[in-house]
Structures are given as C-alpha cells and as structure tokens.
Amino acid sequence: MSTLSALVSVLLATSVALAQAGDPAAPAGGAPPAGAAESMPGGPPEDAPMDLPPGFEAIKPPSVNWKAEETSPESVKKGEAAIAAVAKAYASAAAVEDSVKLVIVIPGGGEQTQDLTIAFGPSGSARITAPDAIITRVGDDLFFEPGPGSPKYMKVTKAGSLADAMNEAFGGSMMPLPQVALRTGDGADAAQALGGPFVPEAKIVGFRGGADGKGGVVYLKEGDGEAEVAIDPASGRLAGIAYSAVPPGAPKGFRVPITMVIGSAAFEKDLPKPIAFDGKGRKAVASIEALQQALEVGEPAPEFKLKDTEGKEVSLTDLKGSVVVIDFWATWCGPCMKGLPKIDEFAKWSAGKPVKVFAINTMENDEGPEQRVQKIAGFWKSKGFSFPTLIDGDDQLSRAYGVQGIPFTVVIDPQGRVADVHTGLSPTLVDDLKKATEAALAAQPKG
C-alpha cells in the first residue's frame, strides 16, 4: 500500500539514490510504483562517500530572495499572525474542500506528481482522497481504503480530531497535508504542520505582505530546509507552498524542490458531496497489517472485466466452472520477466483441462491508453506466450486484489473463490500452481 507519507519518504529517498548513482535519466520502460526506488540498481554502498553527480548544478535556497526587513522580528510577528489567521479561516468555514497538486522534482531523475483532495464537513467529518488512499472520518470513526473498490478497509475508532485519529491509525506518520492541523483552528503548531515531512520542526522566520494587507507569503525554516507559504488574499486560506527540502543523508548542496499548488473552496452548510462511508459487502479490519494481508483463501475473488490486447473482453463471471489463474505483471518488472515463462509452462501443462490462464498487465504509467495497448501487444507477440494478457488500464483491479508487489499470482476455484495466492517469484511456482489447480478441481461439486 502506498500511503501519502510512504510516498513522500520514497520520493525523497529516490532523489538521494539518483544523486549518488549519478544517473541523469529516469528508469526506462515505465516508472515503477512507490517502493521500487529503494532497490534501484547501480547505487553505491550505504557507507560510500556521498558526492554530487558530475555536472550537477546546486539549487539555490529561497533565503537568497528574502531581504533583511522581511525577516526582521517585526516581520516574524506578522508571519505568526498571518498563519494564525489561516488556521482561523479553515476552522470557521462550515465546509471546505482543497485540491492539491503535489510535485516533487527529483534532481537528475525527472518529476513525480500526486493529485490529492482534502475536504472537511460539519461535525468533524473529513475525507482525504489520493489515487492509492482514501481516508474518511465520520463521527469518531476513521476509515482507510487502499483505493476505490478495495474488498477490505481499515476502521479505527478514536475520539478527538482528525489528526488524533490519523496518529492512532498510522502511528504518527506525518502526511503532507497541513490542512488537517489548520482545521482545528489552533495556530500554535501551524508552522510545524505547514513544514510537514519536508521541513520538519519548521519555524516562522519571515513574512512578505500582500497587496492591500491581504494574503502574503510566510517564510519557514529549520536547519537547511526552507519553505514559502502563499496565502490566498480572497479566502485567507492556502494558495500554495514551495519547499526546498534537504533529505537526510543527501550530499552537501543537494536540494529537492517541492511545490503544492492549492485551490480552496468554502461552503455555507455542507459539501456538494456530503462525507459518508459505506462498507456494505466489504470486510473491516483493525490495522494496516491486516489490510495489507494478501487475499484470504476461501473468500470470493474480486470480479473483473478486462480486455486483452485484441480488444476482447474477459470477465471472471463468465469463467465460472473453470479454475482461473491470473498473474499481475509490468514491463519494467525484472522478476515478472522471469516469472512469465513459468506461467507459460503452467499454461501449456493445463491445456485441455478446465483451466483458464491470464496475465494481467498493471502499473504501466508512462503512456496513454492506445499507446499502452500497442506496446503491450507488441511485447506479448514478441515473447510468443501460449496464454493471453489482459490490461488493467487504471490499476483498479490490482488495488481490488490488494497487490503490494509484482509478480502476484492468484488461483481462483471454479466457484469464484480464492484458492491460492503467490507474491513474488518462487522457484517452485509451476509445481505450486499445479497442486493448487488439481486440489481446486478435485474439490468441485460433482454433477
């Protein structure tokens, strides 16, 4: 699972890895999901000297653009008052919704973007939405979903603020969403909330006033990390934050530019889409660990309707009566390249039996839908595999199946229930799939 805090730590770690490796290009063949960067090939040993890559041009910190009068004690007081007013603006609205575009520029490694929304309704309700995370707060209950359609969700009951509930659920992980703290209206810790995971323990060290005394920019700093917080003059809420982060262990002079472009809207009574949660037909668990657990044997397999490279639709419902084996893969995944021939060996063994085998391409995020189909079709044809691949175009199915890493292989019995699950590449995969398939066929009701 990719929580927002995990995304942040991985992206910052990636920037350092790229700097140490001196690789001026991003990985080819499609970017891996969050987490893959931690095992990037080509990096030096952990105890190697950390030098900037050849030709690297250091990024100047925001401090070079701040005048002495803008960082004076008087300006600091104005900045503190401005941040307190921002917190009040968030707390006083009956309902408010912010759209956030988070952009992290990895020096020498391209750009990573994440679109988020955070909404607050009456009575402490809240909803945070990201591509791989949905957090909903209703009353004293907090619900976490890995994504739309997930068969499981985490439920934590905790009285207090949204921040209290999130700390309980995620062990105090800091997320890059200062609105959570600002909604409480308490400006005392607002500076640290605005610094977030990029400039931890940030302090207000300057202020640049806006036109007619409205809006303005607050300057934050702690250690080498810096941030500039822009206040919208019309709403008094956030308009954006520009960070200059220095990841732990980074070479001297190395900075990561991060921006949050924020659009904020307030409502008099409630949000256009009131905050609610419906867990009907899904399983509630009490921890991240339980949520991350792979599909449970015996439970219904999530339904799917996907197309193959020729546009033919395949649905799990239509395959009932046969054992179905699906294998999630991507072109950038090295273990998948070794695992697909094993699946092909199994598919040839199962020919003539009531067994259907499909690869499912997922987590390809470097081209549009048509280009992706063409790329996958060409790749599949070049390999000459005896079984088809389906395309999980929006990665919804991989989320529904709780895929944490690939390859990820699932055996589904003739009644549509999970019979066996394999994560990663196993030397005994073919034999394991044969045994699971034979057991599922033998257990099928006769007649």
90 in a domain, yes or no? Answer: yes
Q: 196 and 306 share a domain?
A: no
Length of the chain: 447
Whether residues 116 and 13 fall in one domain: yes
**Domain tally, the chain:** 2
Judge whether 85 lies within some domain. yes
Q: Are residues 240 and 316 in the same domain?
A: no
Q: Answer yes or no: is 37 within a domain.
A: yes
Q: What CATH number does the domain containing 155 carry?
A: 2.50.20.10
Q: Is residue 279 part of a domain?
A: no
- Per DSSP bridges, beta strands 283-285 and 152-157 are parallel
DSSP 65: G
Whether residue 111 is contained in a domain is answered as yes
- Domain boundary residue, one of 267, 284, 319: 267
Beta bridge partners of 117: 99, 129
Whether residues 303 and 248 share a domain: the answer is no
Whether the per-residue pLDDT at 281 is higher than 60: the answer is yes
For residue 289, is it within any domain?
no
pLDDT at 244: 93
Give, in order, the Cα–Cα distances in Å from 3 to each of 34, 102, 155, 271: 10, 14, 15, 25
Whether residue 168 sits in one domain with residue 111: yes
Tens of pLDDT along 16-29?
444 444 433 333 23
* Rounded-to-integer distance, Cα 309 and Cα 304, Å: 16
Same domain, 240 and 303: no
In this prediction, residue 405 has a pLDDT band, given cuts at 50, 70 and 90, of confident
140 and 26, same domain (yes or no): yes
Same-domain status, 29 and 169 = yes
- Same domain (yes/no): 252, 354: no
- CB-based contacts of 3, cutoff 8 Å, min separation 6: 132, 133, 170, 173, 175
User: Hunting for tokens 């900037």 — which residue is that?
Assistant: 52
Rounded-to-integer distance, Cα 5 and Cα 295, Å = 24
In terms of domains, do 256 and 395 share one?
A: no
Flag whether pLDDT at 423 surpasses 90.
no
Whether residues 136 and 197 fall in one domain: yes
- 75 within domain boundaries: yes
Same domain (yes/no): 339, 225: no
Three-class DSSP labels, 184-237: CCCCCCHHHHHHCCCCCCCEEEEEECCHHHCCEEEEEEECCEEEEEEECCCCCC
C-beta of residue 353 within 8 angstroms of C-beta of residue 423? no
Domain boundary residue among 267, 302, 328? 267
| Within a domain: 119 | yes
- For residues 105-132, average pLDDT: 86
Query: Could you read off the pLDDT of 311-357 as tens digits, one per residue?
Result: 999 999 999 999 999 999 999 899 999 999 999 999 999 999 999 99
Q: Are 343 and 387 in contact (CB under 8 A)?
A: yes
pLDDT digits (tens, 9 = 90+) for 42-83: 333 344 444 555 555 678 889 999 999 999 999 999 999 999
Give the model's pLDDT for residue 36: 36
Question: What are the φ/ψ torsions at residue 296 (nearest 5 degrees)?
Answer: -90, 135
Phi, psi angles (nearest 5°) of residue 247: -65, 150
CATH number, domain at 326? 3.40.30.10
171 or 30, higher pLDDT: 171
Distance of CA 153 to the CA centre of its chain: 16
Chain segment 149-160, per-residue pLDDT in tens = 677 889 999 998
Q: Give me the domain span that covers residue 384.
A: 294-442
Q: Which of 199, 232, 267 is the last residue of a domain?
A: 267
172 or 11, higher pLDDT: 172
